C-alpha cells in the first residue's frame, strides 16, 4: 500500500510518501517540505499569530493536495511541540481541519520519544543493545533510553533549537554572554533529567541522534555514513566543540551555505550545536551515531505493525 505522512513540526511541514506492507522495510516514494519557522509566529502570550496560522493551513493544504495527486491509500497527519504548546493550538487545528479536510493528531513529547525510539531500534536491530537517544526538534529536545523497541525512560524538554534561538540567542550572530546563558540553562535541565530519570539506567551500548539539526551538524563536522558496511555516520564531541566558535561568529545567512545545512536550519544551527554539545557533556558521550530514521519513519512502522496486529499502541494512528 502507499502511505502518506504529514509531519507538522516547528520548522517545516513535511510530506513523506512510502510504499509499505507488513514484513518489509518502507520504501520512500516522494518527499516534500514547506518552510514554517513557527517560533517566529508566536505572540507574547504564546499564541500562533494569524499569519502563522494561515501559513500552517496553506502548507498542510499543499501537502494534502500533493498526496491526493500521488494517490495514497491512507494519509496520517501529526503535529508536534509548536502546536501542542501554543495557547491557541486547538483553534489552529480546527482551522486546518475546516480548510484541508485533515485533522492533525497532536503527539505528546513522550509519544515523540517513544515512536522515534521504535524507528531507531528497527534500523539498528536488537544487537545494538541499550540505546540512549537524543532528538532535537525546533521546539523540543527528546531524550530516551532503553533496550527494547520502546524506551524505559523518556523525557521531552522545551529546549528545541528554534525555541532556544528565539529565547536565548536572538541576535545574529549571537553574543558570547547569550550563548553562555543558553549553555548554563541547558546544562541545568539536562543534569536534572539525567539524575531524576536516567541515573539508574545501564551504560548505553549506543548513543544515537536523530533530527535534521543533528544530521546537519554531523555532516558539517565531518561525520559520514559508510554505505558499503551499513555503518552510521558519527559525530564526535571534540569535533563539535572545535566547530562551535566558528558557528558563533557566523550570521545565519552564512551558516546556511555550510555543507549539509539548509536555509530553514541555518538560523538555529548555533543553538542546536550548543544544546547537543551540552547534552553530550552532561551524559558523558564522546561519540554520537546518527540514525537516518526518526519520527516519520516510526509513524510508518507503527502503522505497518497495526496492519498485521503486532505491537502495543502508544498513540492511536
Per the prediction, the chain carries an average pLDDT of 92
Q: Are residues 68 and 33 in the same domain?
A: yes
pLDDT the model gives residue 227: 42
Q: Are residues 282 and 241 in the same domain?
A: yes
Assess whether pLDDT exceeds 90 at residue 226.
no
pLDDT the model gives residue 315: 47
Q: Are residues 141 and 269 in the same domain?
A: yes
- Strand ranges of the sheet holding 74-79, from the earlier edge strand across to the other edge: 27-35, 12-19, 2-8, 74-79, 105-106
Cα four-point dihedral sign 63, 68, 70, 75: positive
Report the predicted TM-score, pTM, of the whole model to 2 decimal places: 0.92
Q: Are residues 130 and 98 in the same domain?
A: no
271 in any annotated domain: yes
Average pLDDT of span 18-44: 92
Q: Are residues 96 and 154 in the same domain?
A: no
Assess whether pLDDT exceeds 70 at residue 230.
no
Q: Mind listing the pLDDT tens digit for each residue in 70-106?
A: 999 999 999 999 899 999 999 999 999 999 999 999 9
Least Cα distance to 186 among 199, 202, 169, 203 occurs for: 169
Least Cα distance to 235 among 260, 255, 252, 257 occurs for: 260
Q: Is the separation of the CB atoms in 57 and 96 below 8 Å?
A: yes
pLDDT the model gives residue 116: 97
Neighbours of 80 (CB within 10 A): 26
Query: 70: domain CATH number?
Result: 3.30.420.40
Q: Tell me which residue range forms the domain holding 149.
A: 109-295
Point out the domain boundary residue: 63, 87, 106.
Answer: 106
Count how many domains the chain has. Answer: 2
Amino acid at each position: 500500500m502507499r502511505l502518506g505522512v504529514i509531519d507538522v513540526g516547528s520548522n517545516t511541514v513535511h510530506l513523506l510518501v512510502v510504499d509499505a506492507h507488513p514484513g518489509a522495510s518502507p520504501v520512500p516514494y516522494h518527499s516534500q517540505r514547506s518552510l514554517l519557522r513557527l517560533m517566529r509566529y508566536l505572540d507574547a502570550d504564546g499564541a500562533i499569530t494569524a499569519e502563522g496560522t494561515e501559513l500552517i493551513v496553506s502548507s498542510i493544504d499543499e501537502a494534502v493536495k500533493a498526496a491526493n495527486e500521488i494517490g495514497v491509500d491512507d494519509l496520517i497527519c501529526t503535529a508536534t511541540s509548536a502546536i501542542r504548546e501554543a495557547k491557541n493550538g486547538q483553534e489552529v487545528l480546527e482551522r486546518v481541519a475546516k480548510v484541508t479536510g485533515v485533522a492533525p493528531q497532536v503527539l505528546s513529547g513522550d509519544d515523540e520519544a517513544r515512536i522515534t525510539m521504535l524507528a531507531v531500534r528497527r534500523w539498528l536491530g536488537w544487537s545494538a543493545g541499550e540505546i540512549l537517544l537524543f532528538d532535537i526538534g525546533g521546539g523540543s529536545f527528546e531524550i530516551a533510553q532503553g533496550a527494547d523497541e520502546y524506551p524505559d525512560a523518556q523525557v521531552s524538554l522545551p529546549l528545541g533549537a528554534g525555541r532556544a534561538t528565539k529565547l536565548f540567542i536572538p541576535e545574529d550572530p549571537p553574543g558570547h554572554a547569550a550563548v553562555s546563558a543558553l549553555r548554563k540553562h541547558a546544562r541545568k535541565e539536562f543534569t536534572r533529567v539525567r539524575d531524576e530519570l536516567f541515573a539508574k539506567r545501564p551504560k548505553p551500548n549506543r548513543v544515537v541522534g536523530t533530527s535534521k539539526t543533528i544530521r546537519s551538524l554531523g555532516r558539517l563536522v565531518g561525520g559520514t555514513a559508510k554505505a558499503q558496511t551499513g555503518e552510521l555516520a558519527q559525530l564526535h564531541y571534540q569535533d563539535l566543540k572545535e566547530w562551535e566558535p566558528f558557528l558563533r561568529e557566523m550570521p545565519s545567512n552564512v551558516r546556511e551555505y555550510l555543507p549539509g545545512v539548509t536555509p530553514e536550519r541555518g538560523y538555529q544551527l548555533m543553538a542546536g550545536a550548543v544544546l547537543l554539545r551540552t547534552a553530550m557533556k552532561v551524559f558523558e558521550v564522546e561519540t554520537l551515531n546518527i540514525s537516518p530514521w526518526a519520527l516519520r519513519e516510526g509513524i510508518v512502522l507503527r502503522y505497518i505493525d497495526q496492519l498485521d496486529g503486532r505491537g502495543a499502541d502508544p498513540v492511536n494512528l
